[in-house]
């Protein structure tokens, strides 16, 4: 059982069409939702239309540029409040409302590029951006343990750990909902903390203790 579980985890997602060598921008990605993404259909069916309308997406650029602007070492976070459970094939999550938090170390030109990059990566989910804010963003990621610690200002927090066999509840878990954006090497993770305490979306949330996160890399 243990071998089967970790084989499933390691074989999860490979979505990006470009290799890092071909890309102009590469980095690390984390996402957390208010519904389990690694789960069985019985649990997913119990949550659909009741939760999962909220998500936080974060990109940390290791190297590269966007629209001709260097973004090396900078981060951007998107917070989304959708109209339905994100990933539900039978419901339309749009229109979604969102806000973008850009790295406060960035210049004005870099802040615009970071927001544009996030909108390009998230597509329609960031079509209706209610505000773009600047804040200190700290993101530490350890792929060997699938652990992430993300903080954006005093309003966004994500902390994850690797999934373990103890997180299995029904025995038929799988990646039920794929990531919300184009990523490589995406692995589901357990959300120890997932909080949005900000203003602008008429909603705040705290959704810990779920198999609701993804950790991966991006290249464009």
* pLDDT tens digits in sequence order for the chain, 220 residues long: 443 333 333 333 333 333 334 458 999 999 999 999 999 887 677 787 789 999 999 999 999 999 999 999 999 999 999 999 999 988 999 999 999 999 999 999 999 999 999 999 999 999 999 999 999 999 999 988 999 999 999 999 999 999 999 988 777 789 999 999 999 999 999 999 999 999 999 999 999 999 999 999 999 9
45-48 own/partner pairs: CB under 8 Å, 24+ apart: 47/85, 48/85, 48/88, 48/91
Tokens of residue 74, six digits = 């900078």
Q: Give residue for tokens 């990621």.
A: 141
DSSP state at residue 13: B
pTM: 0.88
| Structural Rg of the chain based on CA atoms | 16
Could you give the C-alpha distances from 210 to 40, 84, 153, 181, in angstroms and in order? 13, 19, 23, 20
pLDDT for 142-182, tens place per residue? 988 999 999 999 999 999 999 999 988 777 789 999 999 99
Tokens of residue 189, six digits = 């993770």
């Amino acid at each position: 059982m243990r071998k089967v579980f970790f084989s499933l985890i390691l074989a999860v997602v490979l979505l990006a069409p470009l290799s890092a060598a071909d890309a102009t921008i590469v980095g690390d990605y984390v996402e957390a939702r208010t519904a389990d993404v690694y789960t069985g259909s019985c649990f997913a069916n119990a949550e659909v239309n009741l939760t999962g309308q909220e998500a936080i997406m974060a990109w940390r650029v290791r190297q590269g540029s966007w629209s001709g602007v260097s973004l090396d070492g900078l981060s951007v976070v998107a917070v989304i409040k959708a109209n339905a459970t994100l990933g539900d094939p039978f419901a339309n999550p749009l229109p979604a409302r969102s806000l973008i938090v850009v790295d406060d170390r960035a210049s004005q030109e870099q802040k615009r590029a970071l927001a544009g990059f996030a909108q390009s990566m998230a597509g329609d989910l960031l079509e209706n951006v209610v505000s773009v804010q600047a804040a200190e963003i700290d993101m530490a990621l350890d792929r060997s343990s699938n652990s992430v610690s993300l903080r954006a200002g005093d309003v966004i927090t994500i902390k994850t750990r690797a999934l373990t066999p103890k997180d299995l509840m029904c025995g038929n878990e799988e990646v039920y909902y794929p990531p919300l954006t184009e990523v490589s090497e995406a692995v589901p993770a357990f959300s120890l903390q997932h909080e949005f305490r900000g203003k602008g979306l008429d909603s705040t949330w705290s959704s810990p203790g779920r198999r609701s996160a993804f950790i991966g890399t991006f290249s464009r």
